[in-house]
Structure 1
């Protein structure tokens, strides 16, 4: 009876499904990007899918946390068969080189792994990066499971799961279609102090505030800074966030969800009063046709997005977003434009 079940109509950027509808989608032979709790992913049959663990979603009915549902996005197959390929920390530099000359790559990376760290630090310098469209996301876990479960990435063609390798699907596209990658960052640099770091990394003790060397943890405490607001930097006209992960006042150390770089000036972001409304108002009209998207778990949490919509775009709420490089507290989406 289930074999004849028809999957429900879904937004182009994907929909949140129960297991039975996901099985129907897999058995159709379509190439799929899937996000769900690891236990649910391990119940899936072989098929043309790649997946990462996460139980937080911007679904068709609004933000939702679920260990019983899967977010499914159908990938385009306009110009040939997509290719799934694993990358460890040593081979990750090839991710753009291996991409088709004209196409789109979707990359899923397990959080807190060596491959996550390497991508975050070095991706902007990878050969052919920025020459070939690349998006993706960082797999995570339910926040109740932090420290107890490791994020996982899965290859549906082989049913191999990995906690320490990234998985890409390289999708060829016809010359008549261009994958336009957009990032929507609600945050702008505030008018406060200029902050620089003496070294690149996921943590920092010291930083330069307006040119003066200070302990960052002490500075944040003394200024009463809301660490739900990210550091924001201008990367050649694009506003890029680095989100605070933890502040250890006793150790005088601050940890981040993405690396700070030693050649970039940062400022604490201006507050965003209404995340859901801001996302909806900031999206252009053609966002309705987005073919793939993801957003950040921190936006979901800090913006109170459970039960709220972020305009017409759906997608997993992840531990990090990828638009060529690692992003934080940002929406990433892809439109396929006809040339």
Structure 2
């Protein structure tokens, strides 16, 4: 089976499902609910990067087929999710979709690094969301196509099996790097904070952002063993700050260096991707802050999601899976 990615109608998508193809599908809840049972998982987001340009596609589904065999498809609740990699083959690739604004997403974001077999088996995926105008009014949903069930509080995973001798490589494109501002540490892990340490001195984090005139479009960045990991700001309130991913206690963060001409710089970095990956996804914040609507993202196609997964939850990145030749 050859890999495939692109926009399809519900009828065209249904035909691929009937052929037994293993599919990862994004779109609106209305369209996903029309699909027959089969070897697929899905999540809600109407935003996608296509060969014709990035945008919102309420009347189409974005379909990815990695050209890999299915080992297992399963939905996992909060109690089951920590063991999801026990279901993954020893030689495979697991694609995970989580619903945004859910307890199970918070669990995964904070606890995934300690899950059994994490980092021993490849895991990628994304976070389902809703059209921006429906934020707070409609739930993000995940779909287990093998049973036809949909969830607002469960993860869905398509465990792929790789042929003997075949390998894949997971890559993260992060346009941000730590700036030269003060180091920030937090004493508790979580999605919202009040207090912090700025260069070792106690401070209220919201007031620190205001006093420093920091643009909340730029994320906090931390160096995790050589990998730059972002934590994006969702909301700055009077005395607290909410994030799209958790900050971790004791980790040193710095605000990202501001990027001039962000759209041009970001598209130039994507244009270096000459070959279409097996799998790709991009962050809704990159789509918004870089003004990507209508822009061609070179060889990269895939859902525009509300968080990305390359083992752990990421923000404001691009995640790719490439075959290793």
Q: Pick the TM interval, shorter chain.
A: over 0.9
Of residues 33, 37, 50 in structure 1, which corresponds to 2:41?
50
Counterpart Cα distance in 1 of 2:127 and 2:14: 24
**1:34 is paired with a residue of what secondary structure?**
strand
**1:81 is paired with a residue of what secondary structure?**
strand
Counterpart Cα distance in 1 of 2:153 and 2:120: 26
Query: Displacement, 1:165?
Result: 0.5
Matches within 5 A, 1:1-339: 12=3, 14-77=5-68, 80-249=69-238, 252-283=239-270, 288-338=275-325
1:100-133 per-position Cα deviation (integer Å, ceiling 9, x unaligned): 1001000001111111011000101111100000
TM-score (norm 2): 0.95
Counterpart Cα distance in 2 of 1:59 and 1:134: 23
Q: How many pairs does the alignment contain?
A: 324
**Gapped regions of structure 1 (runs ≥ 5):** 1-9
**1:304 is paired with a residue of what secondary structure?**
coil
**2:259 is paired with a residue of what secondary structure?**
coil
**Gapped regions of structure 2 (runs ≥ 5):** none
**1:217 is paired with a residue of what secondary structure?**
helix
Contact 2:72 2:87 in 1 (8 A): no
Counterpart Cα distance in 1 of 2:237 and 2:294: 32
Contact 1:276 1:310 in 2 (8 A): no
Query: Displacement, 1:13?
Result: 6.2
Distance 1:311 1:286, change over 3 A: closer
Distance 1:299 1:133, change over 3 A: same
The CA RMSD over aligned residues, in Å, is 1.6
